[in-house]
Structure 1
Amino acid sequence: MTGSLNTQGSTWNRWDLHIHSPYSILHNEFNNDWDSYIDRLNDLEDIKAVGITDYYSIDGYKEVKKYKEDGFLNNIELILPNIELRLNISTTRDRPVNFHVIFNSEVSTDDIEDKFLRELEFEYNHRKYKCEKSDLIKLGENFVSEKDSEETALRCGMEQFKVSMENIKNIFKRHSTIFKNNYITIVPNSSEDGNSGIRDNQFVATRREIYRFADFIFSGNPQDKNFFLGKNNYSETIEQCGKLMPCVHGSDAHSLESMGKPNYGRHTWIKAETTFRGLKQLVHEPEQRVVIQPHHPENKNNYNIISKVNFQDNSCSLFNETDIEFNPGLNTIIGGKSSGKSLLLYKIAQAISEEEVNLREKDYLWKNPYTKTFINEQPFNVTWRNEENSNTNSENNSGKVTYLPQMYINSLSEDSSNEVLQEKIKSILLEDENHYRFLKEKNELLTVTRNKIEQNITNLFESLQKRSEINNSIEEIGDKKSIEKEVNRLNSELQEKVKQSKLTEEEELKVEQVQTAKKSLQEGLKNLEASQNKISNLSKKLQSINEQVNESLNNNEIYDENDQNIMFIIKNLQENIGESFSMANLKLIEEKNKYSQKGNDYDEKLKQVNEELHPLIEKMNNREEIEQLRKNLEKQNEYVNKITSLEDELGLLEENIIKLCETIINSKKEYMDIQKSIASYFQSIESLNGINVYAYLTFNKENFNEKFLSQFMRKGKIDNIFDRNYEMNIFNDEERFIFEEQNHINKIKYLFDTTLEITENKLKKNYNKRSLIHALFEPYIEVKFDLYKDHDIISEMSPGKRGLVLLELFLDINNENHPILIDQPEDNLDNRTISQDLVNFIRKKSLERQIIIVTHNANLVVLTDAENVIVANQDPQLKENENRRFEYFTGALECDFINEENTNKLLSKGIKSHVCEILEGGKEAFELRERKYGFN
């Protein structure tokens, strides 16, 4: 029986359960050519199981079985006897309803013939005939002439022999110790000789009884399949049949040419081990276990399927080096505590992708328990279905895998805003090219806007520094009003002194005229100097702007530096801009030179005025005193002119500071508007297989406190720094920032304005206003994604449901089809959620991707109809294991046997028995699955 162990479990294979043999008495076109018949069976390379069919006989089956025992038909793994009967019920076309009984090949042929066929009875003319050759010939002789052969009489007897369902039921009941669970009944559904041919309303109950007695339906019609699976009308199917039923189809071959060739290419594919037990699983899984179609049902790519794994270089004698087989569908690893289940899953992940394992550790949601242990160093190999290998000793492994360690999803679900989950949601959203392009464009805009804010903050503090320097310069010169008052005083004193001089009236008038001319020349010279200073400042400003433009164009975040066409355009633009700035500077220099020439002219005229004034001054009695007054007056006028010039420059600077502040706030608003547009866009997208995305803006209060508030020297409440805090609702009682989308920019503007005005003694050492403003405008706002399903936001779900939704999201990536490894996905889930939601999700997902899960829950093994079960066991004393401490064996769920001679060994039991023993509720799970389809 252990031949059903260490396999890939339930796999898709072609079955043909309706091939007649050359011993079939009715409609035989084989001409008793057994050699050609066996050759034809040998040629059916793509068929793994056959039902050898005869009317009221298993002679053909016995003959084929003998060939198999003699070494023929190695291509066929399972041969079953199919007995075709005729019921004593007719269709509207006056033909008896056909009825098939397929027996387990483990039932002896003697029991089938003695305890079933010979106990079938047909009564004619007050005599009972048994279903054996001699009686069938005698029955036939009632309807043929004496000249006819025994073969003709046998054929006629078979045509006349009809059985009742009651007869069949009684036989199975009478010999239940032999036949219980060892037979399958099948009724065709054709209108000619099948059950649907019973149309008369008087026989509705009869038709229903036949359906209820039958296990399968012989039909390749898609409409029949939908009806018997309850797809059209579930209630009507249950009313008619009492249960859901699988449809199977065979070639119904009566000739060599038709063997294995059903009409319309309607081949029967069954997902099961090629045993009678595997076939019986169709009763319990009528939809998932069988399909009728021309091509193979399993279409996963070979490079996405793990075929087998094994431990290598087993010098420590802890692990067997034999292969552990895996199914392309759902594989479940079961075992007791510390049996090596999670160990096996980890080694598979490690061999395929160390990066995947490291990623889980970096997420800080899982701590690797195997680090620095012998398990981590144990060599391990994974073989893919395309015959490529991945192993722990190679740096260039092929294949990819998603690995979810134990409690990883639960940790992930504790905070829906954590970075791991946020990145996972984004990766799913960005699979759509439109979503990817939209977000890329918006992120580029955010980068540009962010850089603009940073640059303008830099410009702002350069202007603030310049303002401070100008104010210091004015302060060093003195108070303008006081200086102007002194100028008035000196003028009055000078005029008085001049009046007291010995100059004539004409000379005094001349002095006054020359002094006026001199003053005019001095003012003109001052204005020329001011103009030259403005030109110099403008030239410096143009140079700064040119450098900023070049720096922005050199920022490769706004374009692809590998795109040569773009690079050419940018370089050409830089050259043109540079030439324009150079031309402008040349013209400014020309203007400055013109002012310099005018200044020289003024200097020359001033020299002439001084020469003209000098002899007149010499005539004055108090000329030294007057000269000193004049010099002092000139100096004070210079101070006034300098202050006036600085005040003019300060006025322009103040205007620039105001504009920069407005630009910074507007850019902050622009940044937030871009983020709002991102949230709005993703808020409106379609659901991801029933899971909707809720996009919103969130404010990182921890970062804000750490980067901005932490710079203040705190004494008392925060209101002492920001006096409008309560009015504007900026900080709560715990002094945490209150984020409100509609008022956020107003709050930032207030903090900005207030911060610019505070004194730096309110800041901690090593901090200043510049660092504070940069911290204020850090991008604390982020676009976050939440999920909701069935109108429930994930953050408001129970931990179990939240974990289930995250598991669905984590694994529902459309363009990823590589294997999924999950360690105990049932953690924190109640039984109802497991048996319904989680089971349905895993079953659905296993149709698309290979899944390998470690589980303690029977429902995840049985109700998911796991194709392959891996039993793990750790046994240091080797009481249960064969020869290693850690041992694994695999098989299909339907693999069930018990070796009574040595029950303490693991291999003495089949998979089903281990499921029932190891997993709590295993027996109940099998019963629940059977009740689901109407079986008791």
Structure 2
Amino acid sequence: MNKNRGSQFRKWVLHLHSLYSHSQLSNQYNINENNHEERFDEFLKKLNENDIKAIGLTNYFNFSEQDYCLKRKLEEKGIVVFLNLELRLENGNVKDETCDIHIIFDNLLDEKEVKCFLASMTAKVVNKRLDSISSKDDYKKAVVNFDDLVKCLNDKSLNLKNRYMIGILSRGKGSSRLSSVFEDIAERCDFFIHSSDKQKNIEEDKEYLNSHGKPLLQSSDAHSFEKIGGKFSWIKADLNFEGLRQIMFEPSERISLGKDNPDTKLDYQVIDSIELSDARIIYLNSSLNTVIGGRSTGKSTLTNAIAKALGNEHFVPINEKTEKGMHVFDKDIIIHWRDGQEHQDLEFLPQDYMIKIAENDILRNNLVRSTVKSDEGNYRKIEKYEEDTRKNQNEIDNSIQEWSNLKDKLATLIKPEGDKKGIEVQLQKLKEQISEQEKKSDFSERKSEEYRKSETELNYYLNHQRLSEINIRNLNDMGSIEISLSTPIPSSDDTKFRESLEEYIEVLKTEVNEKWQQKIKELTDEQNEIFSENKLKVNEIWNSEIFKQGQTNISNNETLRKLIEIQKQEQLKLDTFIKYENNKEKIETQINEIQTKILRSYAKFGTLREKLQNEFEVKATPVEIKINFQPIKFEEKIKYLNGRNTTNNNFIEEFDKDSFRKIDNIFDALNLSYNQGKSQNDLIKDVLSQHWYTINYNLQYDGDNFEQMSQGKKAFVVLTLILEFSKDKKPVIIDQPEDSLDNRAIYNDLTNYLKEKKKERQIILVTHNPNIVVGADAENVIVANQHSEDSPNTHGIQFDYTNGSLENTYTKSMKYTLEKQGIREHVVEILEGGKEAFEKREKKYK
């Protein structure tokens, strides 16, 4: 069964000498009249063993009947055979040496037409027609003039126009051995042929010649079985002369001179074929498949059906109510992958998808972010930035909570009643009165002083005894608490690795809790000892002689007792005032410190943004991704200031201009009015709970900023972004990417881009633009047709398809539309400007 996939890379050897190459000139096949079949079998075996699909069967100056017979026999065995006539030019090089030239004839050219040419062309020196050259002496002396040769080939009576190609032997960059006359001949040839053993020479020649629009072929020049298959060219083309001619239009893309097949895509990343209803199968190429057709002929229907069959997230089924969605066939299709397995991997970019992404900042930033993931180094910078901002925000949130608690604590402080100054004056007066009373009693002034000292000490030890009791109770409560380690363990498929981390954390937890209990015991013992020491001191003072005498003196003097009692009450009032002021000052100091800490932490956001902006840069020529930060509008997050007054409006306007400056003064008295029962404290919390900037990805293409591009150019850049940075090589479907691009942009940007990306991944592309199909040298063109009276399909099938290469060309008198002509003719007929696109392609190196 012919699985037509369009142009494919196959091995071609276009300079391979015939078994019957004239024995006078190095024929080493050792063929004689008794071993023809044996030598043919060996010749065929060598071709098949080396998977050679097409050859240039070469002989000097003319072909024998045996050559024609050999061609027919090889073709019967599936080998495509072109006759290659090797001639010697009289025109010399810089060393005055003659040079070989090759004429490759259309493989479908009738033998009679080749013979007519041989009978019409005369060799110089021997002065004989080519078909008359036979002696060893003739072969050694015969030469042809290049101009005479071209004139003969172009003789209309010979009917050879576009049915031959002229090649010349390459010896290094096309110039090292050429005279000026010879350079002119080389320029007029269609291709160069190489048989060097040095890879460096081949690569240099190919680069040089391709840059001048000339294809270079590697071939064996084999005269023996041993050399067959050692040197060859990978040519991407149909196995016919029209396919071979394509190397003149795409010299670098259609030829590969490496040892391995250039198609290196993995089998699971290539869709092999699409099976439609009625067992119809469309075979796909691993490179660029373009789907063309008139309006409503089933182009997008086909790609939509592929997306549906593979469960792609961008496929949207028809909504019965709105009738919006993506049309598919009545019956589901079957997708066959090249590895024979089932896969779901597919990139599907439906019609207008790129434009929607281009016009929506959120969607575009999400796409860019997912794209940047392919650049692990730069994506790690973003992750580090987000990690650092989260950590910084958590620190700020904790500080804000601490600040809020302090504000609440300050608000709950109750100022004592009375007048502190008056209390202080009263205490001084009481002190003087107590002193006078003590003088009147038999309790000496010295004893009074000693008593007051012991009383002060007693209060000190009683207070510390109280504190020890509180500490011991708290330690008892804490002793029942188990410390847990809430360290997050990163997810990993390595179960053993994860379990080892979990086990170690458990070990640490046990060790920590053991040390914790040990510390609780140490502190409890310490506090018990302090309590005992203070209790001992209290008992000593209570039992001291001076304290007992003082207590008795107070009891015996009613006036003194009352004064001391009043003194104690006033001192308590003063202590309450002092405690209040100390607490208030302490809390206010803490609030100021935490506010400074918060603003200092908040300033880190600016440093982190600047660091990321300076360090982040992703390039994949010609696309470049940079980062800037988009400020968030105040009223997008906070609604309770709007519409109040001019002061509020000015605050909002200034915040949107420079949020950093306004935040730096957020703790000052702002004199704002608030809705929804809010206050400045709420504003402070809400403002500081976020950093008021979002990451914005700035795209550039060849130095042009994305925002300044036209809609269509933006869409193309989005497509480039999707394909350029993805390391995933799964197939991609693109529906009409050329929308909104002018023809020049399509030809210069999109076609060149597709030519590069199709080497990396399989592309299925719906288009109505011939510059994409022809300019991007689509390997496989799928032509869609909807059945109608004027354009019928086989069996009246609603949507039918045919496919093939750009070099597939013919016209036939057939009933059904898709069978009437070749792919080239369909392209010209369906796509406006198709003919011009082919002409442009074929003239670009002329």
Given candidates 289, 292, 315, the residue that maps to 1:331 is: 289
Report how far residue 645 of structure 1 moved. 2.1
- In the TM superposition, 1:32-181 aligns within 5 A as 32=33, 33-43=35-45, 44-45=47-48, 46-55=51-60, 56-57=62-63, 59-67=65-73, 72-74=76-78, 76=79, 78-89=80-91, 97-114=99-116, 116-121=117-122, 130-132=129-131, 136=132, 162-175=143-156, 178-181=159-162
**Match status 1:379 vs 2:379:** no
Residues in 2 aligned to 1:537 and 1:662: alpha-carbon distance in whole angstroms = 34
1:672 alignment partner, SS class: helix
Structure 1 residues 297-336: aligned runs within 5 Å:
297-311=262-276, 314=277, 321-336=279-294
SS in 2 for 1:788: strand
1:344 maps to which of 294, 297, 302: 302
State whether residues 675 and 782 of structure 1, in contact with CA within 8 Å, keep that contact through their aligned partners in structure 2. no
- What's 2:606 paired with? 672
Deviation per CA, 1:55-92, whole angstroms, max 9, x where unpaired?
412634531344357xx513x2x222223344454668
Matches within 5 A, 1:713-752: 714-719=643-648, 731-732=652-653, 737-739=656-658, 744=660, 746-752=661-667
The answer (yes or no) to whether the contact 2:288–2:758 under 8 Å persists in 1 is: yes
What's the CA shift for 1:182? 1.9
Shift of 1:49: 1.0
Q: CA offsets, 1:543-592, max 9 Å, x none?
A: 999999978x6253899986347735863685478458736853457656
Structure 2 CA distance for partners of 1:648 and 1:38, relative to 1, 3 Å: same
Does 1:405 pair with 2:373?
Answer: no
| Mapped partners of 1:342, 1:546: distance in 2 | 73
SS of the residue corresponding to residue 297 of structure 1 reads: coil
1:660 — aligned with what?
A: 594
Q: Secondary structure at the match of 1:786?
A: strand
**Does the Cα contact within 8 Å between 2:348 and 2:732 map onto a contact in 1?**
yes
In the alignment, the residues of structure 1 paired with residue 511 and residue 347 of structure 2 have an alpha-carbon distance, to the nearest angstrom, of 48
Q: What is the rounded CA distance, in whole Å, between the counterparts of 1:349 and 1:678 in structure 2? A: 38
Which deviates more from structure 2 when the two are superposed, residues 604-613 or residues 535-544?
A: 535-544
Structure 1 residues 328 and 585: alpha-carbon distance in aligned structure 2, compared to 1, 3 A threshold: same
- What is the 5 A alignment of 1:452-491? 452-469=395-412, 471-472=413-414, 474=415, 477-481=416-420, 484=423, 487=426, 491=430
Is 1:211 the equivalent of 2:221? no
Residue deviations 1:14-67 (CA, integer Å, cap 9, x gap): 011233333433434432543123313432221111222334126345313443
1:125-152 Cα distance to aligned partner (Å, 9 max, x none): 9xx85444xxx2xxx7xxxxxxxxxxxx
Among candidates 914, 920, 925, match of residue 837 of structure 2: 925
Q: CA deviation at 1:913?
A: 1.3
1:454–1:736 distance in 2 versus 1, CA, 3 Å: closer
Distance 2:111 2:574 in 1: 128
Q: Distance in 2 between matches of 1:556 and 1:48?
A: 61
For the 8 Å contact 1:349–1:403, the answer to whether it is kept is: yes
Query: Which secondary structure state, in structure 1, belongs to the residue aligned with residue 224 of structure 2?
Result: coil
Counterpart position of 1:22 = 19
Q: 1:187 aligns with which of 168, 172, 185?
A: 168
Query: Which of 220, 225, 231 is the aligned partner of 2:208?
Result: 231
Return closer, same or farther for 1:183/1:546 CA change in 2, 3 Å cut-off: farther
| Map of 2:495 onto structure 1 | none
Aligned counterparts of 2:602 and 2:667: Cα–Cα separation in 1: 11
Give the RMSD, CA atoms, in angstroms: 4.6
Q: 1:31 aligns to what?
A: 32
Contact 1:37-1:256 within 8 A present in 2 as well = no
Task: Name the amino acid aligned to 1:666.
Answer: R
Structure 2 residue matching 1:556: 3-state secondary structure: coil
In structure 1, the partner of 2:216 is 247
Give % identity. Answer: 25
Stretch of structure 1 that moved more, 510-519 or 826-835: 510-519
Question: Match of 1:554, SS?
Answer: coil
Check conservation: 2:14, 2:219, Cα contact below 8 A: yes
Alpha-carbon separation, structure 1, partners of 2:542 and 2:121: 141
Report if aligned partners of 1:54, 1:84 keep a CA contact under 8 Å in 2.
Answer: yes
The answer on 1:885 being equivalent to 2:824 is: no
CA distance in 1, matches of 2:458, 2:349: 82
Counterpart of 2:621, as a letter, is: N
Q: How far did residue 603 of structure 1 move?
A: 8.0
8 Å CA contact retained: 2:209, 2:215: no
CA-to-partner distance for each residue in 1:186-245, whole Å, 9 max, x for gaps?
Answer: 233469xx998986x5xx33x2453344222222346876787673796xx5xxxxxx32
C-alpha distance in structure 2 between counterparts of 1:512 and 1:855, whole Å: 115
Kindly indicate whether residue 580 of structure 2 is the aligned counterpart of residue 646 of structure 1: yes
1:456-605 paired onto structure 2 within 5 Å? 456-469=399-412, 471-472=413-414, 474=415, 477-481=416-420, 484=423, 487=426, 491=430, 506-507=440-441, 554=486, 556=488, 563-564=501-502, 567=505, 571=509, 574-575=512-513, 578=516, 582=520, 586=524, 587=526, 591=530
Q: 1:112 to 1:254 in 2, by over 3 A?
A: same
Corresponding position: 1:836 with 2:811: no
Deviations 1:761-807 (A, max 9, x none): 83523778257414423132344332334443333334344433333
Contact 2:396/2:601 (<8 A) preserved: yes
Q: Indicate the larger mover: 381-390 or 892-901.
A: 381-390
2:613 and 2:628 in contact (8 A); partners too: yes
Q: Is there any run of 5+ residues in structure 2 with no aligned partner, and where?
A: 493-497
2:210 counterpart of 1:295: no
Corresponding residue SS for 2:644 = coil
CA distance in 2, matches of 1:540, 1:231: 91
Q: Distance in 2 between matches of 1:544 and 1:405?
A: 66
Q: 1:328 to 1:532 in 2, by over 3 A?
A: farther
CA distance in 2, matches of 1:638, 1:376: 94
Residue 255 of structure 1: CA displacement?
A: 3.2
- Confirm or deny: 8 A CA contact 2:642 2:648 kept in the other structure: no
Taking a change above 3 Å as real, the CA distance of residues 711 and 672 of structure 1, as seen in their structure-2 partners, is same
> Counterparts of 1:828 and 1:790 in 2: how far apart (Å)?
19
Q: Distance in 2 between matches of 1:423 and 1:549?
A: 44
Q: Contact (CA 8 Å) 2:475, 2:520: kept in 1 or not?
A: no
Using the TM superposition, give the Cα deviation of residue 124 of structure 1 relative to its aligned residue in structure 2, in angstroms.
8.1
Indicate if the aligned counterparts of 1:511 and 1:613 stay in contact, CA closer than 8 A.
Answer: no
Give the aligned residue type for 1:844. Answer: E
Letter in 1 for 2:627: A
Q: Is the 8 A contact 1:220 1:292 kept in 2?
A: no
Paired residue type of 1:895:
N
- After TM superposition, give the deviation of residue 167 of structure 1 in Å: 4.5
Give the match for residue 269 of structure 1. 234
TM-score by length of structure 1 reads 0.76
User: Following the alignment from structure 1 to structure 2, what is the Cα–Cα distance between the partners of residues 109 and 680?
Assistant: 71
Looking at structure 2, the residues matched to 209 and 228 of structure 1 have their Cα atoms a distance apart, in angstroms, of: 18
TM-superposed CA distance for 1:158, in Å, is 5.5
| Correspondent of 1:681 among 615, 621, 626 | 615
Confirm or deny: 8 A CA contact 1:195 1:210 kept in the other structure.
no
Q: Distance in 1 between matches of 2:512 and 2:385?
A: 25
1:695 aligns with 2:638: no
Q: Structure 2 vs 1, CA of residues 772 and 663 (structure 1 numbering), >3 Å: closer, same or farther?
A: closer
CA distance in 1, matches of 2:608, 2:472: 36
| Inter-partner Cα distance in structure 2 for 1:460 and 1:543 | 30
Q: Secondary structure at the match of 2:813?
A: coil
> Which of 775, 781, 791 matches 1:863?
775
Letter in 2 for 1:330: L
| Residue 774 to residue 930, structure 1, CA distance change in 2 (3 Å) | same
Q: Distance in 1 between matches of 2:773 and 2:502?
A: 57
Mark the CA change 1:410 to 1:933 in structure 2 (over 3 Å): closer, same or farther. same
- Among residues 394, 406, 419, which one is paired with 1:451 in the alignment? 394
Return the offset for 1:876: 6.2
Q: Letter of the 1:467 partner, please give it.
A: L
Give 1:427 shift: 4.7
